[in-house]
């Protein structure tokens, strides 16, 4: 076993002939080992065991990945929709571009889960996060809520998209001493690294591998024909190579690759250079664009961005439909929003469970959500000077 | 708790009665303040004052009796001669975003209640998404 892990640690595990991609994957083992491995094997083997070692664990964690990607969307949408029509064009464009990619990540995670025989669950009450709350699978170091566009909310978004810290090289001697105490992850990147390591490990230990070569399973993949008009590319997953590609896309778009501020799309898909989510949000907070040669350390040094922090609907944070019980008209509208949201989750569920063509039908619902959310943010609350907002609660 | 009666609260109350849309729906357009200002700007001060005095009277006299309120509105506000046809102008404003022949605001066209009432969307705005025309209504 140590041989396999050694291979994962030290050799390229990705497609040959793509130096950029190799660099990205090579960073994989350089994660705080305590967070990726259990200490159960300490002393027994040269290397500790990966945290994810069974197919069932893998499926469970990929389901968490789907939930995690989804859980970022309502907070981003609240910030986006709170921006008053016709103002803050740059901010709107930036937040919107990130939301669209989070949707893509959700589908990519579902594609990987489907490829190994899992069944993504998206249309259940448990799937819908409670705000304010922690991100699924996180180490609970920060709370995410439904809030209007503000410096504070952008600061939380930066925490969500925070790149994994530069990490030490694996030292097998030291690794065995580390205890896996905390089941959560500091960054989304670490979580996906644990998943990728688990995929490599379980796949290598399963005769014939874990990627099911069956037309019926292949039909469950959401492909480019079902998904259009977004940053990045949908990657149908039929093999471990596709899974690596999908995870690179997810992590690269969020955090940037190889200590640069660019996201992975330009490298992987020849798209125009677009900065990773963390850096796009940082541009807003700093009210300045990144210039071409900027690095994470230099911060943005480009053109100033005009951010109008005042031209925002004053939405009361973390609303619940229960808050609206004394305003029946408002209550009805908030419920209408939640019904559309729940219906959308149901369509995405179907799309990820054998009916990928259902994804197109979700588009009309997404527009409906936007219009309803904007309407809610225009409705004053009777008990405060603040405005209502979408509550993103499960309402079948 | 009774809210203070101001021209704004009366404008909201009478708008609900005149349009048939509820408060959340009217606020939801995001046009409430814009329309209130348009109303003020386009109405003589005296006419504006008398109109809202009459609105307040109608509401006070009839309490929650919807039928009676409707009758009072029909007989006392809806005549073209009443208050220079102000009630009719308010309806037109909410439904079309126009005051007379003038567009009030760029958003007014998009937010006109006429689109909701017709279960349609304003051409060129609030689109329901690519390909939605191929699907039955949700």
Q: What is the pLDDT of residues A50-100, one digit of tens each?
A: 788 899 999 999 999 999 999 999 999 999 999 998 899 999 999 998 998
Measure CB to CB from residue A365 to each of B22, B28, B138 and give the nearest one.
Answer: B138
| B30: chain A residues, CB-CB within 8 Å | 85, 374-375, 378
| A383: chain B residues, CB-CB within 8 Å | none
Domain assignment present for B112: yes
CA of B130 vs chain A CAs: smallest distance (Å): 7
Which tens digit of pLDDT belongs to each residue from B39-77?
Answer: 999 999 999 999 999 999 999 999 889 999 999 999 999
Q: Which range, of A98-107, A147-156, A182-191, A238-247, averages the lowest pLDDT?
A: A182-191
Q: What is the mean pLDDT of chain A?
A: 81
pLDDT for A23: 28
pLDDT at A13 over 80: no
Give the pLDDT mean for B82-107. 94
Domain assignment present for B113: yes
Those residues of chain B whose CB sits closer than 8 Å to some CB in chain A are 22-25, 27-30, 32, 106-107, 126-132, 135, 138
| Helix, strand, coil percent content, chain A, rounded in steps of 5 | 50, 5, 45
CA of A93 vs chain B CAs: smallest distance (Å): 17
Provide the domain limits for residue B53: 7-119
Determine whether the interchain pair B30/A367 forms a contact, defined as Cβ–Cβ distance below 8 Å: no
Q: How many helices (H) does chain A have, and how many strands (E)? A: 14, 0
Instruction: Give B124's pLDDT tier (boundaries 50, 70, 90).
Output: confident
Instruction: Give A362's pLDDT tier (boundaries 50, 70, 90).
Output: confident
pLDDT for A49: 66
Closest to A104 (Cα-Cα) out of A308, A277, A306: A277
Give the pLDDT mean for A29-56. 56
Q: Which range, of A255-269, A320-334, B123-137, averages the lowest pLDDT?
A: A255-269
Q: Using the Cα atoms of residue A162, residue A163, residue A167 and residue A169 in order, give the sign of their dihedral.
A: positive
Instruction: Give A22's pLDDT tier (boundaries 50, 70, 90).
Output: very low
Closest to A186 (Cα-Cα) out of A154, A162, A153, A155: A162
pLDDT at B4 over 70: yes
pLDDT at A6 over 90: no
Determine whether the interchain pair B129/A333 forms a contact, defined as Cβ–Cβ distance below 8 Å: no
CA of B137 vs chain A CAs: smallest distance (Å): 10
Domain assignment present for B44: yes
Determine whether the interchain pair B128/A378 forms a contact, defined as Cβ–Cβ distance below 8 Å: no
Contact between A319 and A333 under an 8 Å Cβ cutoff? The reply is no
pLDDT for A230: 60
pLDDT for A384: 84
Q: What distance in Å separates the CA atoms of residue A80 and residue A315, rounded to the nearest whole number?
A: 12
Please identify, in words, the CATH class of the domain defined by A2-286: mainly alpha
ipTM given for this complex? 0.88
Domain assignment present for B138: no
pLDDT for A288: 93
Instruction: Give A262's pLDDT tier (boundaries 50, 70, 90).
Output: low
**Interface mutation target, options B11, B27, B33, chain A, most CBs of A under 10 Å:** B27
Parallel, antiparallel or unpaired: strands B98-99 and B102-103? antiparallel
pLDDT at A205 over 80: yes
Determine whether the interchain pair A85/B126 forms a contact, defined as Cβ–Cβ distance below 8 Å: no
Query: A40 vs B25, which has greater pLDDT?
Result: B25
pLDDT at A276 over 90: no
Instruction: Give A28's pLDDT tier (boundaries 50, 70, 90).
Output: very low
Q: How many domains does one find in chain B? A: 1
Q: Spell out the SS3 assignment of A82-150.
A: HECCCCCHHHHHHHHHHHHHHHHHHHHHHHHHHHCCCCCCCCCHHHCCCCCECCCCECCCCCECCCCCC
Which tens digit of pLDDT belongs to each residue from A164-192?
Answer: 654 444 444 444 333 333 456 777 888 88
Q: What distance in Å separates the CA atoms of residue B23 and residue A327, rounded to the nearest whole number?
A: 9
> The tokens of A231 are what?
């940053």
**In this structure, how many other beta carbons lie within 10 angstroms of the beta carbon of residue A295?**
12
Domain assignment present for B134: no
| A375: chain B residues, CB-CB within 8 Å | 24-25, 27-30
Which tens digit of pLDDT belongs to each residue from A296-331?
Answer: 778 899 999 999 999 999 999 999 999 999 999 999
Q: What distance in Å separates the CA atoms of residue B52 and residue B12, rounded to the nearest whole number?
A: 11
| B132: chain A residues, CB-CB within 8 Å | 363-364, 367
pLDDT at A44 over 60: no
Q: Which range, of A207-211, A229-233, A314-318, A359-363, averages the lowest pLDDT?
A: A229-233
| B138: chain A residues, CB-CB within 8 Å | 343, 364-365, 368
| A366: chain B residues, CB-CB within 8 Å | 129
| B32: chain A residues, CB-CB within 8 Å | 378
pLDDT for A240: 95
Determine whether the interchain pair B126/A371 forms a contact, defined as Cβ–Cβ distance below 8 Å: yes
pLDDT for B114: 94
Instruction: Give A194's pLDDT tier (boundaries 50, 70, 90).
Output: confident
Contact between A301 and A143 under an 8 Å Cβ cutoff? The reply is no
């Amino acid at each position: 076993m140590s041989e396999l892990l050694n291979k994962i640690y030290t050799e390229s595990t990705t497609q040959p002939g793509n130096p950029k991609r190799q660099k990205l994957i090579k960073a994989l083992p350089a994660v705080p080992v305590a967070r990726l491995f259990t200490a159960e094997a300490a002393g027994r083997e040269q290397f500790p065991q990966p945290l994810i070692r069974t197919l069932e664990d893998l499926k469970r964690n990929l389901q968490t990945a789907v939930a995690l990607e989804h859980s970022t969307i309502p907070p981003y949408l609240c910030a986006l929709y709170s921006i008053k029509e016709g103002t803050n064009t740059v901010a709107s464009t930036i937040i919107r571009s990130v939301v669209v990619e989070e949707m893509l990540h959700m589908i990519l995670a579902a594609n990987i889960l489907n490829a190994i025989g899992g069944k993504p669950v998206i249309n259940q009450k448990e799937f819908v996060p409670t705000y304010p709350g922690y991100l699924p699978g996180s180490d609970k170091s920060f709370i995410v809520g439904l809030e209007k566009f503000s410096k504070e909310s952008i600061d939380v978004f930066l925490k969500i998209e925070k790149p994994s810290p530069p990490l030490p090289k694996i030292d097998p001697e030291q690794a065995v001493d580390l205890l896996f105490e905390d089941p959560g992850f500091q960054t989304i990147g670490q979580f996906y690294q644990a998943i990728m390591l688990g995929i490599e490990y379980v796949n290598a230990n399963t005769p014939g591998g874990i990627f099911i070569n069956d037309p019926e399973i292949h039909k469950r993949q959401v492909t480019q024909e079902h998904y259009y008009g977004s940053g990045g590319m949908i990657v149908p997953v039929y093999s471990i190579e596709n899974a690596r590609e999908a995870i690179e896309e997810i992590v690269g778009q969020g955090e940037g690759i190889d200590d640069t501020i660019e996201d992975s799309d330009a490298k992987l898909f020849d798209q125009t250079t677009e900065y990773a989510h963390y850096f796009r949000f940082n541009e807003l907070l700093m009210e300045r664009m990144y210039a071409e040669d900027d690095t994470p350390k230099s911060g943005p040094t480009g053109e100033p961005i005009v951010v109008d922090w005042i031209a925002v609907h004053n939405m009361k944070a973390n609303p619940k439909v229960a808050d609206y019980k004394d305003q029946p008209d408002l209550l009805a509208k908030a419920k209408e929003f939640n019904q559309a949201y729940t219906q959308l989750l149901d369509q995405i569920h179907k799309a990820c469970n054998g009916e990928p063509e259902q994804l197109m039908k979700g588009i009309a619902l997404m527009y409906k959500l936007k219009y309803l959310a904007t309407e809610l943010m225009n409705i004053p609350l009777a008990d405060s000077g603040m405005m209502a907002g979408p509550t993103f609660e499960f309402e079948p | 708790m009774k809210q203070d009666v101001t021209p704004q609260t009366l404008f909201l109350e009478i708008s609900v009665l005149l349009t048939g849309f509820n408060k959340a729906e009217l606020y939801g357009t995001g046009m409430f303040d814009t329309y209130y200002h348009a109303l003020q700007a386009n109405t003589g001060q005296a006419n504006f004052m008398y109109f809202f005095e009459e609105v307040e009277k109608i509401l006070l006299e009839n309490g929650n009796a919807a039928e009676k309120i409707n009758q009072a509105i029909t007989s006392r506000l809806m005549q073209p001669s009443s208050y220079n046809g102000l009630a009719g102008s308010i309806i037109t404003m909410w439904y079309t975003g126009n005051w007379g022949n003038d567009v009030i605001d760029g958003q007014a066209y998009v937010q006109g209640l006429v689109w909701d009432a017709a279960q349609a969307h304003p051409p060129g705005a609030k689109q329901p998404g690519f390909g939605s025309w191929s699907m039955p209504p949700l």
